[in-house]
C-alpha cells in the first residue's frame, strides 16, 4: 500500500550566513505526489540554492522520478543550484543511472550537500 507523500520546507545555515531551503520528503513519491512535490518546489523560488532531503522516502516509482527530474530541469533553466542527500544506496544508483547527477549533486548527508552549494 502506498504511503502519502509529505513535504516540509525548512531552512538551514549555508555559506556566507545565508540560509538554504531544504525540501524534506517522506513517504512514497509517485504520480499522486505531484501537488506535494511540485507545489513545495514552486514555493521555494528559483533564486536561491536548494537542498532536497530523501532520507525519509520509502519508495519512488518511475512517475516519481519524472517529478523529480521536472523539478531539476526547472532549476537548471534558471541556473539554480540543487543538492540532493539522504538517498538509500538503491536510489543513489537509480538517480545516477537516470542522469539526475547532471542537474543536481548527490551527497551522503546534509552537511556535505550544504557545503557544495
Number of domains in the chain: 1
Q: Tens digit of pLDDT for each residue in 3-42?
A: 889 999 999 998 878 899 999 999 999 989 999 898 899 9
**Which of 103, 108, 105, 102 shows the shortest CA–CA distance to 116?**
105
Please give the Cα distance from 68 to 34 (Å, whole number): 10
Is 66's pLDDT higher than 90? yes
Range of the domain at 105: 7-28+48-115
Q: Which helix (H) or strand (E) holds 59?
A: strand 50-60
The answer as to whether 39 is a domain residue is no
Task: Give the CATH number, domain containing residue 106.
Answer: 3.30.750.24
Is 69 contained in some domain? yes
Domain membership of residue 57 (yes or no) is yes
Give the separation between CA 56 and CA 28, rounded to whole angstroms.
Answer: 9
pTM as predicted: 0.93
Amino acid at each position: 500500500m502506498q504511503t502519502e507523500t509529505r513535504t516540509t520546507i525548512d531552512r538551514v545555515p549555508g555559506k556566507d550566513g545565508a540560509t538554504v531551503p531544504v525540501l524534506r520528503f517522506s513517504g512514497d513519491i509517485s504520480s499522486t505526489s505531484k501537488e506535494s512535490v511540485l507545489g513545495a518546489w514552486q514555493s521555494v523560488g528559483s533564486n536561491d540554492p536548494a537542498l532536497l532531503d530523501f532520507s525519509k522516502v520509502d519508495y519512488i516509482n518511475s512517475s516519481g522520478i519524472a517529478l523529480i527530474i521536472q523539478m531539476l530541469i526547472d532549476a537548471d533553466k534558471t541556473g539554480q543550484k540543487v543538492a540532493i542527500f539522504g538517498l538509500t544506496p538503491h536510489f543513489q544508483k537509480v538517480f545516477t543511472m537516470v542522469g539526475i547527477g547532471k542537474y543536481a549533486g548527490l551527497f551522503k548527508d546534509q552537511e556535505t550537500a550544504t557545503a557544495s552549494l
